[in-house]
Amino acid sequence: MKELNNKSGRAVFGSRFAAIATTVGSAVGLGNIWRFPYEAGSHGGGAFLICYFAFAIMIGVPVLIAEFIMGRGSRSDAMGAYAYFSKAKGWKIAGYLAVLASILITGFYSVVAGWTLEYCVESMFGMVDFSSPEAGHRQFLEMTAGWQPVVWTVVFSLCNFYVLARGVTKGIERVSNILMPLLFVILLVFCVHSFMLPGFGEGMRFLFYPDFSKIDSSTLLGALGQAFFSLSLGMGCMITYSSYFTDKTRLGQTAMTTMALDSAVAVMSGVIIFPAVFSYGFSPSAGPTLVFEVLPNIFYRMAAGGVWSTLFFLLLFVASLTSTISITEIFTSVLTDQYKFSRKKATMTACGIGIVVSILCALSLGPCRSLAIGGTPLFDVLDYVASNILMPLGGMLCSIFVGWVIDRRYIREQLTDNGAYPCRWLRPLVFFLRWVCPVAILLIFLDSSGLI
Ligand code: PFF
């Protein structure tokens, strides 16, 4: 199969399904299955869910559409898109920030993805000891502190390289078309299983019954940050992917579908995890270790637990692979567009740098604890800088750029395919991009920097 190219010679996704599968593939990842349940668990369940939905619709969707307008309009990478719409050199900085964020995120994301691969393979061979919560905890600590995470991170990164090196249509599109439906099937199997657990009712009440007294500023800001991370916003990822959309792809519809499916996966992860947590007497607010320590422990008590555990970590692996592909594609496309690298050389450079950074992150948690800044391991530093500073900043810049710099008529053309269909929400969209999104994002930014 040859790469499909549009008139400008740029690769394009071959179908509407592919546009959705790839953007959903990017959005659905560790953020939904690993991060969402522990965030919801620590912030009051149903109350968090409601805030998360509100932000995903009011902030996430407008910023997602803004990234789509920049990417499909310019048919360029995250750096080139700013230069396409504005001659002011200052906006190029937003492009550099996006590339920097993508490299830092690759570092810690690939390490967690490496853990999922390790748990998947070890569950398959019955090598995971979860006979008690203490055994599970010990195993997790030993695993993250040793050399294995380095090896598994490299194995994971090679899978990522393999897909990216095959190109946009033969690699990214084909893999997303196959893996995304598979991911939904595995999720459904787990949801059905969850339904049969004794703690199903209690788990559902925790996830869906909103106790409004639990909403405080940390719930609001946590939910906004989660919506942002989960929709892959603020680092040019959706600019890059939408630059491969066809002229006929409907941007508003694609953004709504992506948000709906992404949120559905987050909710399904809650439906899988909370009944299990309540059935066996764990605490829903166990934090980041919820998935890695609590769940395998639960699988251990189930009939054919090894199979369930393998399947669950396979699900996490698939979700993290399609997201990592999209993160690395940001830098790859900058190298091919701006620096005229061949696809092969660009992929090798982007993945090579990503592997080095992720090895350093994995080492910082175990064998080389000196890889730290101010006593905090490099892994946590990169997570903090990318998720709490660079992503909100990038999202705010993109929202301001599309709201204030790009001509409203151009936005209308992009949203209506040159007037082929109506768009009644142009005014509110521009209002949100100009005012609501930047102010809300500024609030998360100030909160996560400890300034408010
Ligand atoms: N959205 C992904 C997740 O929920 O795991 C993470 C992510 C992917 C963040 C791509 C940023 C990005 F550019």
Ligand 1, atom 10: nearest CA belongs to which residue? 232
- Measured in angstroms, how far is the CA atom of residue 101 from the centroid of ligand 1? 11
| Res 56 pLDDT > 50 | yes
| Res 4 pLDDT > 60 | no
**Under 8 Å between Cβ of 246 and 169:** no
**Under 8 Å between Cβ of 6 and 73:** no
| Res 1 pLDDT > 70 | no
238 vs 283: CA distance, rounded Å: 36
**Under 8 Å between Cβ of 283 and 266:** no
120 vs 443: CA distance, rounded Å: 38
| Structure confidence by residue, pLDDT tens digits, 167-207 | 999 999 999 999 999 999 999 998 998 898 899 999 999 99
Most confident of the following: 199-208, 279-288, 308-317: 199-208
Q: Quick one: tokens of 375?
A: 């006593």
Look up the pTM and report it.
0.94
**Under 8 Å between Cβ of 149 and 110:** no
- Does any ligand 1 atom lie closer than 6 A to the CB of residue 27? yes
Average pLDDT over residues 350-375: 95
Which of 72-76, 217-221, 236-240, 408-412 has the least mean pLDDT? 217-221
pLDDT at 2: 42
- Does any ligand 1 atom lie closer than 6 A to the CB of residue 56? no
- Closest atom, ligand 1, to C-alpha of 27: 1
- Does any ligand 1 atom lie closer than 6 A to the CB of residue 392? no
| Res 396 pLDDT > 90 | yes
Average pLDDT over residues 356-374: 94
Q: How confident is the model at residue 43 (pLDDT cuts 50, 70, 90)?
A: confident
Q: Which residue of 35, 259, 321, 327 sits with most ligand 1 atoms within 8 Å of its CB, as the best mutation to test the pocket? A: 327
Average pLDDT over residues 301-318: 87
Three-state DSSP state, 11:
strand
| Res 271 pLDDT > 60 | yes
pLDDT at 146: 85
380 vs 450: CA distance, rounded Å: 16
3-class secondary structure per residue, 95-153: HHHHHHHHHHHHHHHHHHHHHHHHHHHHHHCCCCCCCCHHHHHHHHHHHHHCCHHHHHH
Q: Which residue of 38, 105, 115, 226 sits with most ligand 1 atoms within 8 Å of its CB, as the best mutation to test the pocket? A: 105
| Res 216 pLDDT > 90 | no
Given CA atoms 67, 71, 74, 78 in this order, what sign does their dihedral have? positive
Which of 101-115, 123-137, 388-402 has the least mean pLDDT? 123-137
Within 8 A by CB and 6+ apart from 331, the residues are 99, 102, 103, 346, 349, 350, 353, 354
**Under 8 Å between Cβ of 34 and 199:** no
- Measured in angstroms, how far is the CA atom of residue 237 from the centroid of ligand 1? 8
According to DSSP H, which parts of 209-304 are helical?
217-230, 237-242, 251-279, 295-301
174 vs 169: CA distance, rounded Å: 6
Total residue count of the chain as it appears in this document = 452
